[in-house]
Chains A and B, each alone.
Chain A
Amino acid sequence: MTGDVAVLGAGMHPWGKWGRGFVEYGVAAARAALADAGLEWRQVGSIVGADTVRSGYPGYVAGAAFAKALGWQGARVTSVYAACASGAQAISTARAQILSGLADVVLVVGADAAPKGFFRPAGGDRPDDPDWLRFRVLGATNPTYFGLYARRRMAVHGDTLEDFTQVKVKNAALGALNANARYRKPVTAQEVAASPVVADPLRLLDICATSDGGAALVLSSMEFARRHGVAEPVRIRAVSTVTPRYPNTVLDLPEIATDSAVAVDPTAETFRASIARAAYEEAGIGPDDLSLAEVYDLSTALELQWYEDLGLCGQGEGAELLRDGETAPGGRIPVNMSGGLASFGEAVPAQAIAQVCEVTWQLRGQAGDRQVAGARVGITANQGLFGHGSAVIAVR
Chain B
Amino acid sequence: MSRTRTPVVDGWFTGDGDDFRLLGTRCSACAAVFFPREDVHCRNPGCPGGDLEEVPLSQRGYIWSYTDSRYRPPSPYVTDPELPWEPYALIAVELESERMVVLGQAAPGFTVADLAVGMEVEVVPGVLHEDTETIWTTWHWRPTGVAI
The B contact surface, by secondary structure, is loop
What is the size, in residues, of chain B's interface with A at 8 Å between Cβ atoms? 48
Q: Which residue of B lies closest to A126 (CB)?
A: B76
* Chain B residues near A140 (CB-CB < 8 A): 69, 73, 90, 103
A179 at the interface (CB under 8 A from B): no
A264 CA to B31 CA in the complex, in Å?
9
> How far is the CB of B94 from the nearest CB of chain A, in Å?
9
Q: Which residue of A lies closest to B47 (CB)?
A: A263
* Chain A residues near B68 (CB-CB < 8 A): 144, 147, 199-200
Chain B, range 37-59, C-beta contacts under 8 Å to A? 43-47
A149 CA to B92 CA in the complex, in Å?
10
Q: Which residue of B lies closest to A261 (CB)?
A: B99
A249 at the interface (CB under 8 A from B): yes
B20 at the interface (CB under 8 A from A): no
| Selected interface stretch from A184-192, A251-259, A348-356, A376-384 | A251-259
* Chain B residues near A141 (CB-CB < 8 A): 69, 71, 73-74
In this complex, the member of B8, B45, B65, B98 whose beta carbon has the largest number of chain A beta carbons within 10 angstroms is B65
Fill in one digit per residue for A128-154: 1 if any B CB lies within 8 Å of its CB, else 0: 001011111111110010011111100
A74 at the interface (CB under 8 A from B): no
Knowing A133-B9, A136-B76, A199-B70 are in contact, say whether A263-B32 is a contact too (CB < 8 A). Answer: yes
B101 at the interface (CB under 8 A from A): yes
Q: Which residue of B lies closest to A155 (CB)?
A: B117
* Chain B residues near A125 (CB-CB < 8 A): 76
Is B103 in contact with A264, judged by CB distance below 8 angstroms?
Answer: no
Q: Chain A interface: which size bin?
A: 35 or more
Is A152 in contact with B70, judged by CB distance below 8 angstroms?
Answer: no
A262 at the interface (CB under 8 A from B): yes
Knowing A138-B103, A155-B118, A263-B44 are in contact, say whether A133-B36 is a contact too (CB < 8 A). Answer: yes
> How far is the CB of B80 from the nearest CB of chain A, in Å?
13
Is B102 in contact with A256, judged by CB distance below 8 angstroms?
Answer: yes
In this complex, the member of A121, A138, A196, A257 whose beta carbon has the largest number of chain B beta carbons within 10 angstroms is A257
Is A249 in contact with B101, judged by CB distance below 8 angstroms?
Answer: yes
Set B43, B69, B78: member contacting A144, Cβ < 8 A = B69
Set B73, B92, B104: member contacting A135, Cβ < 8 A = B73
Is A263 in contact with B27, judged by CB distance below 8 angstroms?
Answer: yes
A262 CA to B73 CA in the complex, in Å?
33
A222 CA to B76 CA in the complex, in Å?
49
* Chain A residues near B47 (CB-CB < 8 A): 263
In this complex, the member of B43, B44, B77 whose beta carbon has the largest number of chain A beta carbons within 10 angstroms is B77
A6 CA to B73 CA in the complex, in Å?
44
Taking A133-B9, A138-B105 as known contacts, 19 extra A-B pairs with beta carbons closer than 8 A to each other, sorted by chain A number, are A118-B71, A118-B74, A120-B75, A125-B76, A136-B78, A137-B8, A137-B128, A138-B103, A139-B88, A156-B117, A196-B70, A197-B70, A199-B68, A200-B67, A200-B70, A201-B67, A247-B44, A258-B100, A261-B100
Name 5 interchain pairs, CB-CB below 8 A, sorted by A: A135-B74, A139-B69, A155-B118, A199-B70, A256-B102
What residues make up the interface of B, taking CB atoms closer than 8 Å to A? 8-9, 27, 30-36, 43-47, 64-71, 73-78, 88-90, 92, 97-105, 112, 116-118, 128, 138
